[in-house]
Structure 1
Amino acid sequence: MGMEIELKFLLPEYPEALIDAGELKVLTRHSIDQTYLAIEDGQELRVRKVTDLDSGEVTYTHTFKDGKGISRQEIEYGISAGIYNQVIEIAKAIPLVKTRVTGVWNGITVEIDIYTQLELSVLEVEFDSLEEAESFQAPEWFGKDISEERQYSNKTVWRELQKK
């Protein structure tokens, strides 16, 4: 089981000017449909359909996460389209849809998630160690640190979406 250590920020605006200036280099753009199958006590089980917006390639994943806060255990592996579709049909849930732009800024890989069903944009940075994450000084353009604010977690946002 791998360790996921990440900080999340409430991105106030899409950094188009940084991209245009070449300061933020876009690596990939994906559309992600994310559906939770089970959520309980810091554990979550989810599936994703990931479409590469440049190549059109579609992949599917199944992920288990355990833990709360900025450091969690994570297992993720690929699944077939058939398995994904069967699980989605059984779940009968509305997927959380987001566009993920992955880029490099100042030598740091950032993931920008723009949620299509909500007015919400989040920037994430993953780290190799807890010490590295805790000592990270985010630039102002990242926005407010929401790493510990549960109302912005994907599973909380997804749960709210199911109520609509």
Structure 2
Amino acid sequence: MSLEIERKFLLSEFPSALVEEAKLKVLSEQRIEQTYLAIDENQELRVRRIVDLASGEVTYTHTFKLGNGLLREEIEYSISESIYGQVIKAFGFVPLTKNRITAEWNGRVIEIDTYDQIELSVLEVEFDSEEAANTFQAPDWFGKDISSERQYSNKKVWRELQENRVL
């Protein structure tokens, strides 16, 4: 199991000016649909359909995460379209959908997720160590640090989608 160390920020608006000034370089953009198969307070099991918007390439993943906040254990691997389709059909859940922009800023890779079903944009930064994460000084444009605020977690938003769906 690998360790995921990341901080999340509540992005108030996309930093278009930084892109124009070449201070933020967009590397890729993906369309992501994700569905949770099992969730509890400390664990999650999900599947994703990921479309690269430049190439049209579609990939599918299965992920297990353990923990909350800054440090989490993670196992992720590819699955086939067929397995993904069977799982989605069997459960009948509404997927959480978002666009993800992966960019380079100040020598660091960042990810910006903009959600469809709710008005929310989140910026994520991954780190090699807990110390690096804790000492990182985010610029003001990143927004509020929400790394330990569960109301912004994907699984909480996804749960709300399932509660609000029409049966």
Q: Give the TM-score taking structure 2 as reference length.
A: 0.97
Counterpart residue number, 1:62? 62
- Percent identical residues: 65
> Where do 1:104-143 residues align within 5 Å?
104-143=104-143
> C-alpha separation between the residues in 2 aligned to 1:14 and 1:41?
31
Counterpart residue number, 2:72? 72
> C-alpha separation between the residues in 1 aligned to 2:127 and 2:90?
35
The superposition leaves residues 44-81 of structure 1 with CA deviations (integer Å, 9 ceiling, x where unpaired) of 00000000000000000000000111100000000000
> C-alpha separation between the residues in 1 aligned to 2:40 and 2:7?
22
Match for 2:15: what amino acid? Answer: P
Counterpart residue number, 2:52? 52
Structure 1 unpaired stretches of 5+ = none
> Where do 1:1-164 residues align within 5 Å?
1-164=1-164
Match for 1:111: what amino acid? Answer: E
> C-alpha separation between the residues in 1 aligned to 2:85 and 2:143?
36
Deviation for aligned residue 1:41: 3.2
Match for 2:67: what amino acid? Answer: G
Deviation for aligned residue 1:118: 1.0
SS of equivalent to 2:148:
coil
Structure 2 unpaired stretches of 5+ = none
> C-alpha separation between the residues in 2 aligned to 1:91 and 1:136?
40
SS of equivalent to 1:155:
helix
Q: Give the TM-score taking structure 1 as reference length.
A: 0.99
> C-alpha separation between the residues in 1 aligned to 2:87 and 2:20?
40
Deviation for aligned residue 1:20: 1.2
Q: How many residues align structurally?
A: 164
> C-alpha separation between the residues in 2 aligned to 1:91 and 1:22?
44
